[in-house]
Structure 1
Amino acid sequence: MGAPLAIRKESPLATGLLLNALIFLAAAVLIVPVFKRLGLGEVLGYLAAGVVIGPSVLALVPDAEAVLQFAQVGIVFLLFVIGLELKPARLRVMRKAVFGFGSLQVAVTTALLALAAWSLGLSPAAALVVGFSLGLCSTPLVLHLLGERKELQTRHGRHAFALLLFQDLAAIPVLAAIPILAADALMADGAAPLLREVALAAGAFTGLIVGGRYLLRPLFHYAAATRSREVFAGTALLVVIGAALLMELAGLSMALGAFIAGVLLADSEYRHNIEADIEPFRGLLLGLFFMAVGMMAEIGLLAEMPLAILGLTLGLVLLKGLSVTLAARLYRSGWKEASNLAVLLSQGGEFGFVLLSAAAAAALLDQALVSLLILVVSLSMATTPLLFQLHVHGLRRLFVTQRAKPAYDRPSDESPEILIAGFGRFGQIMGRALQGLKIPYTVLDINADQVEFVRRYGNKVYFGDASRTDLLEAAGAGRARVLVVAVGDPEASMRIVEQVKRRFPHLRLYARARNRYHAHLLMRAGVTNLVRELLPASLELTREALVGLGISRDQAQHTIDTFRPHDEQALRRQLEVFGNEKQLIQTIQEAARELEALYEADEDIATRMEEIPRRRD
């Protein structure tokens, strides 16, 4: 009994780690959801959480620099996952954007910022380092924002990624050159140190590509053969961390190493399994990284010189936006893409922290200046989610090509038997059946592109809003017998139903219900002939799955035939408690128990169900 007590007394490190983990988790859980609900995004929430628990406010976790160094692992996992999604063939296609647009943007941005720093009194060498450091953008921030809006595969998303990749590559030689740029270092040692760094980096880069190409697949094949999920996940972590450390030891970026490992596995048959195992680590560590950036911000400096720091932050954001726009236009991108990139890439980046700290260590920059610049970079990162939201909901709309909305067609009344509102996949199947039976029908669809497409195949489809009674009248609703509401949008569907019930009460309504909720809305409106679009296909597939278990087709059909009327009855009972969530849940649970009892009471079904486990054994 004494040993556990001794362990508890002698493990302050474990207690401290658990306490820090608790603080980070509590801050994220309490603050990030608030920012998401306000529409400000997760990133700004993590940054704010880091500021609150960091040295500048509550000082709950005082060593912000140590946390930031550890949290760099989040970027490693992010770049590995991105590499998994980039096949080598696609990467070759991107080489022009990476080295063409990337080099152009870095050159333009560095020049503008270096000139600004030199005009403020820095030496040429120091101004060059500051210009390049501030010119780097935040890879995880930009990719996270693009991922949130599903814009990674857009043109501006691909160019942003290409630029960020080039910046990571370009930062390596600059980091190696900082000691040489420091006072008299170049004269003392010549170019030998830089050449050694370059040779070491090239060797590590080549070794990772060659070794990874021939070793990674056999390694994952061996891990998969164990049939142990833990072993496979451990192998994925081994590859990511190993590749990152190899690049780090060679003086390159850890994120670059992980990215290369991901690209080498992009064509692998294990790609999806690897991504699923890595994803939880990536999300947690990336959140930790943004919190660490928030912790690094010395808010005390902002209180001491608010105008200077806010002015520098505004100047950085404006200069970077201007430089990115200029580079994009020189690269012959349109104004729309240039504006997207200017907003996305207007901040400083996490690699800037590394370069500025290295410059301070080499006595190229004063430590006080570095602290001020790190705060400016942190504030610029905090502005990006806000600016991107404003851009998406404001400026971006100005670049949307305003096409003249085509006028609705004027349908000709050819006395159809059936009117169909909506001619997507659902309506087209019905139309094919009616056409085969030579039953006249007329279609109204509000999607002009869809109407144009369907007309090419000889279908009689009119562009118009079926909720407009004048168009329905022109289409022959006054003499038609049936209206089929086949639109997929529940709101549009209900508008049509309401207008038809009021203006054409003689029409028999048949409706497509998107889900149970939509079905309840239609039933409340008096529509009794409705089909839930997924129900028939789901029941048909269930029947085939039962046949696959060894049940006869007749018995499987009997099981489905038993389920269907029970489900219809449950749907009607749930309609009675529509809008009361508590009673609805209770009704659903009661229906599930009733179905079990119904199957158990059916001797044929119960007997077949009992046979399945024995047959499997």
Structure 2
Amino acid sequence: MTDFLLLAFIFLCAGVISVPIASRLGLGSVLGYLIAGIIISPILALLHVDVIAIQHFAEFGVVMMLFLVGLELEPKMLWAVRAKLLGLGGGQVGITTLVVMGLCMAFGQPWSIALAIGLVMALSSTAIVLQTLNEKGLMKSDGGQSSFSVLLTQDIAVIPMLALLPLLAMPELMDVASDAVAHGADAAHGGDDHSGEGDHGSAMSLVEGLNGWQTMLVTVGSVIAVILGGSFLTSPIFRFIAGAGLRELFVAGALLIVIGIALLMSLVGLSPALGTFIAGVVLANSAYRHELESDIDPFRGLLLGLFFMSVGAGINFALLSENLGSILGMTLGLIAVKALVLLGLARIFKIEGADKWLFALGLAQAGEFGFVLLSFTVAGNIIPTSIADILLLVVALSMLLTPALFIIYDRLIAPRYSEEEAREADDIDADSNIIIAGHGRVGGMVARILRAAGHTPTVIDYSSKQLDMLEKFGVKAYFGDASRPDLLHAAGIHEAKLIVIAIDNKEQINEMTHYIHTNHPHVHIMARALDRNHVYELYAAGCRDIIRETYDSSLRMGRSAFEALGVPSDKANDMVAVFDQSDREGMVEVADTYDVNISPFENEAFMAKIREVAPRREAEVREQMHKILQRNSKGEEQL
């Protein structure tokens, strides 16, 4: 028990310390976990910890992650993106496999081993790429969506790969292939790193002793069983569990489904992650989908972090130091090959600008399934252990380098494309006394309302895509940075009656407000406030027509809440109007003490004023609301 607690303490300490530091440095959580594993690897070695066994346990985090990914995918959606899955994803897997296979054969490997290596290296890291894209907010970009399509294809492709690989087993070639490995690899390895993998032959299996075609039939049958079970058994199971009314039983039921599917896949020699992924897709339309997500996600996060730490801790530095040049060359060569293939596909599928580099660099690594497939190939006499050991290092190093590739994209490539894609501001020839700065979800609605009344506001927006979309609908707008004084002058600020500042950058809103209030005091400024403190900042800048972007919708929700509690609509309106008036007057009362140069919480005068005004205003509002209810109630009784 003490050994287990000590090991858990070491891993948790490493993750809790390393990941926040890495995230603050912009390296991402995945690299933080990998670095944490590398740092604690000497401690684990001193304690004689079997890192490979921990890695096998932690792989269940990948299993859970793919189950959750599958839950997000509806079969209809998969059919809708079939072109990208087959063309973009299928092209990446097929072309990369063939290129890597050709290079391996050029270096003397037999075709069967070369093909197996090509299949392993064609895959990318679903865990790293998806997590990094989500953290950086790039998932919805064209490059992010294309990357997701390729990763999804790769995950699906593992099924035929695992069915094909046993057919490549050629034990008589093992010695020949081993001789093609650089001198010193066997000595450095010593045959210890795959003690965990070597047990596959003695483990329970439903396909042991079957030939290739029989294995394939059992495998396909198991996949069909997962699909049918997910479609017809999940709802009855959860209805039965719901009868107990215990939350922990739902968690147990969710884990039961995932572990049961993973076990079945393991028994037929398939990747458990792929089985749970298929089950997730089947359950995407289930009424219990969100329950499954919430129950499994905490386990997924912890185990995925443990998996990456075990990858970092499992790096064989002795073998790496013996073959540093060749292993580093193979790693960089693999990244270059995959990036070139992806750039070619990006050109064919019209992924342009910075998105093509996000797509190419993001998927240029090998993936976590490489560890699983290499273990499978060693156990099946497909790839010799000596080669697999070096390939494991290539996979791990390429994954370690992936955050660096994203940093290159963020700091070198994306800024350059942003500059290149910037266009000159349009010449504004409109004749209008209304200017709207920003045509997003706020400014766009204001513009529609004004046009409906016959006005023709001059709309300025800094998003080329937004303006291209508006042009398709026949809406005239001008490109440019509305915070620039020269552009405001061109838009007619000196003759304007009204300017609506609806951009979503707080600093730019403040600067525009201050400039217009100072230099064009005749113009009525209506400014969008992003939050309550922003109201005070705009008030200090001279604006007196400030619209909090969520305030009116919140008032409407408050009115609806009263109505839901049985208050008639007219009473609810009066009560909300009382609150609205008091809130606005209270903010004006406090505004003069606000100082834009210090934090509100450090401004003693501001905080003291709020402590004075808030209780008084709240009591006044409560009293007035009570009078409204009493007055209306008496009126109804008299009627």
Listed as ranges, the matches of 1:90-101 within 5 Å are 90-95=77-82, 97-98=84-85
Correspondence for 2:461: 446
Q: Distance in 2 between matches of 1:114 and 1:436?
A: 64
| Pair 1:183-2:185 in alignment | no
Matched, 1:244 2:262: yes
Q: 1:33 aligns with which of 8, 11, 20?
A: 20
> How far apart, CA to CA, are the structure 2 residues paired with 1:461 and 1:356?
57
TM-score scaled to structure 2, two decimals?
0.79
Which residue, out of 552, 561, 577, partners 1:536? 552
Q: What is the alpha-carbon distance in structure 2 between the residues aligned to residue 458 and residue 117 of structure 1?
A: 56
Among 17, 23, 47, which residue is 2:4 paired with? 17
CA drift of 1:270 comes to 2.4
Measure, in 2, the Cα distance between the counterparts of 1:42 and 1:562.
Answer: 47
Q: Give the drift of 1:33.
A: 1.9
Distance (Å, rounded) in 2 between the aligned partners of 1:352 and 1:311 = 18
Q: How does 1:337-416 map onto structure 2 within 5 Å?
A: 339-361=357-379, 365-395=383-413, 402=421, 404-405=423-424, 407-412=426-431, 416=433
User: Which runs of structure 2 are paired with 1:47-58 in the superposition (5 Å)?
Assistant: 47-55=34-42
Structure 2 counterpart of 1:3? none
From 129, 134, 146, give the equivalent of 1:156: 146
Alignment of 1:560 with 2:560, yes or no, is: no
User: Under a length normalisation based on structure 1, what TM-score does the superposition of the two structures give?
Assistant: 0.82
- Name 1:233's counterpart in structure 2: 251
Q: 1:261 to 1:436 in 2, by over 3 A?
A: closer
Q: Which stretch of the first structure deviates more once superposed, 497-506 or 41-50?
A: 497-506
Q: Show the 5 A alignment for 1:139-538.
A: 139-152=126-139, 154=142, 155-177=145-167, 180-183=169-172, 193-224=211-242, 226-325=244-343, 339-361=357-379, 365-395=383-413, 402=421, 404-405=423-424, 407-412=426-431, 416=433, 419-422=435-438, 424=440, 426-427=442-443, 442-447=457-462, 465-469=481-485, 472-473=488-489, 476-538=492-554
Match of residue 71 from structure 1 = 58
* CA spacing shift, 1:589–1:342, aligned 2, 3 Å: same
Report the CA distance between 1:64 and its aligned residue: 0.9
CA distance in 2 between counterparts of 1:126 and 1:245 reads: 28
Q: Is the 8 A contact 1:204 1:246 kept in 2?
A: yes
- SS of the aligned residue for 1:86 comes to coil
Alpha-carbon distance in 2 for matches of 1:474, 1:326: 44
1:327 & 1:422 partners in 2: Cα distance? 36
User: Any idea what the Cα deviations from partners look like across 1:313-350, whole Å, max 9, x if unmatched?
Assistant: 22222233344555666x76657676544423322233
1:513 touches 1:530 (CA, 8 Å); kept in 2? Answer: yes
Q: Give yes or no for contact 2:593–2:609 (8 Å, CA) kept in 1.
A: no
Q: Provide closer, same or farther for how the CA distance between residues 556 and 42 of structure 1 changes in structure 2, counting only shifts above 3 A.
A: same
562-571 or 511-520, which moves further after superposition? 562-571
State whether residues 514 and 542 of structure 2, in contact with CA within 8 Å, keep that contact through their aligned partners in structure 1: no
Question: What SS does structure 2 have at the residue aligned with 1:575?
Answer: coil
> In the alignment, residue 410 of structure 1 is paired with which amino acid?
D
Residue 184 (structure 1) shift: 8.8
Query: Conserved in 2, the CA contact under 8 Å of 1:108 and 1:327?
Result: no
C-alpha change, 1:206 and 1:386, in structure 2 (3 Å) is same
Partner residue of 2:637? none
Show the counterpart of 1:613: none
**Identity between Structure 1 and Structure 2 (%):** 35
**Is 1:46 paired with 2:61?**
no
Q: Using the alignment, how far apart are the partners of 2:470 and 2:130 within structure 1?
A: 38
Deviation at 1:81, TM superposition (A): 0.9
User: 1:251 is aligned with what amino acid?
Assistant: G
Label 1:203 to 1:57 Cα distance change in 2 as closer, same or farther (>3 A). closer
CA contact (8 A) 1:176 1:194 kept: yes
Say if 2:586 and 2:617, in contact at 8 Å, map to a contact too.
Answer: no
More deviation, 157-166/219-228 = 219-228
Q: Is the alpha carbon distance of 1:248 and 1:100 closer, same or farther for their aligned partners in structure 2, counting shifts above 3 Å?
A: farther
CA apart distance, 1:244: 1.6
For 1:408, what is the secondary structure of its paired residue?
coil
Closer, same or farther in 2 for the Cα pair 1:212/1:426, shift >3 Å? closer
2:72 — aligned with what?
A: 85
Distance in 2 (alpha carbons) for counterparts of 1:56 and 1:21: 13
1:8 aligned residue: none
How far apart are the structure 1 equivalents of 2:390 and 2:475? 68
Give how far 1:394 is off. 3.6
Per-residue CA distance 1:145-168 (angstroms, 9 max, x = gap): 333344555442243123312432
Query: Which ranges of structure 1 fall in alignment gaps of 5 or more residues?
Result: 1-11, 186-190, 611-617
- Shift in alpha-carbon separation, 1:505–1:142, aligned structure 2, 3 A: closer
* Whole-Å separation in 2 of the counterparts to 1:419 and 1:262: 50
CA distance in 2: counterparts of 1:173 and 1:230, whole angstroms:
37
1:411 and 1:474 in contact (8 A); partners too: no
Deviations 1:101-134 (A, max 9, x none): 5554444333333343344444444444334333
The CA distance in 1 between the partners of 2:114 and 2:441, in whole Å, is: 61
Q: What letter is aligned with 1:85?
A: E
CA apart distance, 1:464: 5.5
Q: Structure 1 stretch 231-240 or stretch 81-90: which is displaced more?
A: 231-240
Query: Is the CA contact 1:53–1:60 (under 8 Å) kept in the aligned structure 2?
Result: no
- Shift of the alpha carbon at 1:358? 4.2
Q: Which stretch shifts more, 118-127 or 383-392?
A: 118-127
Decide which of 568, 572, 575 is 2:591's aligned counterpart. Answer: 572
Check 1:207–1:34 CA distance in 2 against 1; reply closer, same or farther (3 A cut): same
Match of 2:223, SS? helix
Change (3 A) 1:568 1:424: same
Query: In the alignment, is the contact (CA less than 8 A) between 1:48 and 1:294 conserved in 2?
Result: yes
* Structure 2 match to 1:113: 100
- Bigger mean CA offset, 149-158 vs 282-291: 149-158
Distance in 1 (CA, whole Å) between partners of 2:612 and 2:242 is 41
1:521 CA displacement: 2.1
Shift of 1:594: 5.9
Shift of residue 40 of structure 1? Answer: 1.9
Q: Is the 8 Å Cα contact of residues 147 and 362 (structure 2) preserved in structure 1?
A: no
Tell me the distance in 2 between the aligned counterparts of 1:315 and 1:124.
Answer: 20
Quick check: 1:23–1:60 contact (8 Å CA) kept in 2?
no
For residue 512 of structure 1, give the secondary structure of its aligned residue in structure 2: strand
Of the structure 1 ranges 506-515 and 235-244, higher mean CA displacement relative to structure 2 is found in 506-515
Kindly provide the amino acid, as one letter, of the partner of residue 400 in structure 2. Answer: A
Show structure 2 runs of 5+ residues with no match: 175-208, 631-639
Aligned length: 588
